[in-house]
Amino acid sequence: MSVSQHIPPDIKKVARCVGYAAWLHTVDAWLGLPVVLEARLAPHKRAALAHATLRSLCNEHVEAVCASVLPQNAGQPQAAFSGIMDQAAFWADLATQDERDAYMLASFNRSPETRQAAFLEFVQRRAAA
Say if residue 18 is in the same domain as residue 57.
Answer: yes
User: Is the same domain home to 7 and 65?
Assistant: yes
- Note the pLDDT of residue 98: 87
Q: Indicate if 105 and 49 belong to the same structural domain.
A: no
For 61, list phi and psi in degrees, rounded to 5: -70, -35
pTM over 0.75: no
Number of structural domains in the chain: 2
Q: Could you tell me if 48 and 20 lie in one domain? A: yes
pLDDT for 126: 83
Blockwise average pLDDT, block size 10, the chain, 129 residues: 85 93 92 92 94 93 84 66 80 85 92 94 87
Q: Are 93 and 119 in a shared domain?
A: yes
74 lies in some domain: no
Give the CA radius of gyration of the chain.
22
- Boundaries of domain holding 7: 3-69
Q: Is residue 79 part of a domain?
A: no
Length, in residues, of the chain: 129
Give the pLDDT score at 78: 66
d(CA 129, CA 126): 5
